[in-house]
Every structure is written in C-alpha cells, then in structure tokens.
Copies of this chain bind each other. A is one copy, B any other.
C-alpha cells in the first residue's frame, strides 16, 4: 500500500547511494577515487563514509601502496543486504508507477 515504506533512510542521500553502488561493482575503492567519481569535496565524502561505517555497511582498510598510505572502502555483508533491500524497494516503487 505505502509505496515508500521499505526504503532505507540511510540511502536517501545521493552521495551514500553513489558510494554503495560504486562499491557493489568494485570490490574495494580508495578515498580519492570515490571522491573523483562522485565529484564531492573530501570533507563531505568523509562524513558520508563515516555514517555508512557507523551503520555497519562499510569496512575500511587503511593500507599502503609501497610506502604511501592508501585507505580503501568495501561493502560488508550487512551493507550488501541492506542495499539490495533498498534497491528492491525502489524497484517495487518503480513498478508501482506502471
């Protein structure tokens, strides 16, 4: 009945939506690449990554390339489940409009 009842509040942000969809197709992506793909400021991206991590949807890996720091982000199983649920809700809503 309610076409929006199953949408996930966390994924109402365009940036968080973008992060998740990028990480669904790329096993892990570093901070800078995400920043460039989404065309956002670094502070803004960092805070969205933070809320995704706080919700258990993302895991962070602080590593190195050679001796240069390289922080990568990847989706957790919980994140994948939540995101797929959200996409299903969106698809349902879209079908509802036909």
Contact = CB atoms under 8 A, between A and B. Distances in A.
Interface of A: 1-5, 7, 9, 12-15, 17-18, 20-22, 24-25, 37-39, 83, 87, 90-91, 93-94, 96-98
A13 B12 contact: yes
Contacts of A9: 14
B21 A96 contact: yes
A20 to B, nearest CB: 8
Given A12-B14, A14-B12, A22 B37 contact: no
A90 B94 contact: yes
A12 B15 contact: no
8 contacts: A2-B38, A4-B14, A4-B18, A9-B14, A18-B93, A25-B96, A25-B97, A91-B94
Contacts of A21: 3-4, 93-94, 96-97
